[in-house]
Amino acid sequence: SQELEQSPQSLIVQEGKNLTINCTSSKTLYGLYWYKQKYGEGLIFLMMLQKGGEEKSHEKITAKLDEKKQQSSLHITASQPSHAGIYLCGADINTNAGKSTFGDGTTLTVKP
Amino acid sequence: GAVVSQHPSWVICKSGTSVKIECRSLDFQATTMFWYRQFPKQSLMLMATSNEGSKATYEQGVEKDKFLINHASLTLSTLTVTSAHPEDSSFYICSAENSGRAVGNIQYFGAGTRLSVL
C-alpha cells in the first residue's frame, strides 16, 4: 500500500541477532496493528498500538508507535528460527472506524 | 479466544464452476468480516467488506456478480466465486472484527483458501 510503507521488504539475519521492521505513513494512524504470516497461511495478530508513544512487548517482540502516530517499529531481540515469516503492519488511517490498510510486508529469514 | 475458521483450505475446480468459501468466527460475534485476495509474495488486497444483514461493500475493480458475498449471521460469511476461471486462482483470506470489542479494529484472520482453477 502506498498509504502505508513498510521496510525493509526482506530481511535475513543470523539467529540470535536483533532486528527492526518499520511501518510509516504520511497520515495519522488511528490504530496500528502488527501481524505475522507464514507463507500460504492466515495472519496471526501480534499487537495493537493506538496512543502516541505507546510501546508493547510480547516475549521477544516489541512494537512502538511514535508520538506523531505516523510511524511504528517492530523490534525482535535475539531472533530465533521460529520468528521467521512475513510481518505485516495494518492501520486505520484518517479514521478509527472501518477497514484497515496493510503494508506490503517484510519477509524475515532467520538463519540457524 | 478470537478464532476464525476458514474452509476449505484448498480447492481445485474446473473452469466454469462455482466455488464457495466459508468464514466462521468460532468464539465471538462479527458484524463485519473482510475478504482479501493475496498474490504470491504480495500483500493483502481487500476485495470487499461483508456486513451482517446487509449488502457487502466491494472495492473498486472487484466484480460483485463474480464474487458473491453473503453474511447471513453474526458468525458466518461466505464468498462464492462464480464461473471461476484460471485467472481467479489465488489465495483468499477472510478476517472478522470482534463486535463485542470496545476499542480498536483488530481483525482476526482465517487460515486462507488456496483456489486453483484448471
Sheet of strand B4-7, all strands in order from the earlier edge strand to the far edge: B4-7, B19-25, B76-81, B67-73
For position A98, what pLDDT does the model report?
Answer: 62
Mean pLDDT of the B3-25 span: 96
Which residue, among B25, B3, B12, B115, has the nearest Cα to B67 in the 3D structure? B115
| Distance between A10 CA and the closest CA of chain B, angstroms | 11
Rounded to whole angstroms, how far apart are CA atoms B37 and A11? 24
Residue A65 has pLDDT above 70, yes or no: yes
Task: Report d(CA B75, CA A86) in Å as an integer.
Answer: 28
Which of these, B27, B6, B33, lies nearest to B105 by C-alpha position?
Answer: B33
User: pLDDT > 70: what percent of chain B?
Assistant: 94
Alpha-carbon gap: A48 to the closest alpha carbon of chain B (Å): 7
Residue B24 and residue B73: Cα distance in Å, rounded? 10
Q: Are B82 and B65 in contact (CB under 8 A)?
A: yes
Residue A47 confidence (pLDDT) above 70: yes
**A42:B41 CB<8 A:** no
**How confident is the prediction for chain B on average, in pLDDT?**
91
Please say if the pLDDT value at position B69 is more than 90. Answer: yes
Residue B47 has which C-alpha cell? 476485495
Residue of B105, B106, B115 for testing the chain A interface, max A β-carbons within 10 Å: B105
What 3-state class would DSSP assign to B84? coil
Q: What is the pLDDT of residue B98?
A: 78
* Bridge partners, residue A89, by sequence: A34
Give the model's pLDDT for residue A95.
60
Comparing CA positions, the residue from B39, B76, B44 lying closest to residue B59 is B44
Q: Which residues are CB-neighbours of A49 under 8 A, at least 6 positions away?
A: A31, A32, A33, A55, A56, A63, A64, A65, A72
Range with the lowest mean pLDDT among A57-61, B42-46, B98-102?
Answer: B98-102
Beta bridge partners of A35: A45, A88
| Over residues B81-94, mean pLDDT | 96
* Residue B50 CB burial class (10 angstroms; 0-12, 13-18, ≥19): buried
Whole-number average pLDDT of chain A: 90
- Residue B100, pLDDT > 80, answer no
Supply A100's cell numbers.
484497515
Q: Is-contact A79 A16, C-beta < 8 A?
A: yes
Please report residues of B whose CB lies closer than 8 A to that of A103. 43
Q: Is the dihedral of CA B112, B2, B23, A102 positive or negative?
A: negative
Residue pair B88/B117 in contact (Cβ under 8 Å)? The answer is yes
A60 CB neighbour count, 10 Å cutoff: 14
Q: What CA–CA distance (Å, rounded) separates A43 from B110? A: 7
User: Cβ of B105 and A97 within 8 Å?
Assistant: yes
pLDDT tens for A13-43 read 999 999 999 999 988 888 899 999 987 888 9
Chain A contact set for B93 (CB, 8 A): 42-43
* C-alpha cell of residue A109: 529469514
Closest residue, chain A, to B91 (C-alpha):
A40
Q: Are A106 and A86 in contact, with CB atoms under 8 Å apart?
A: yes
Confidence of residue B1 (pLDDT cuts 50, 70, 90): low
The shortest CB-CB distance from A100 to any of B2, B93, B105 is to B105
Residues of A in contact with B104 (CB under 8 A): 31, 33, 48, 50
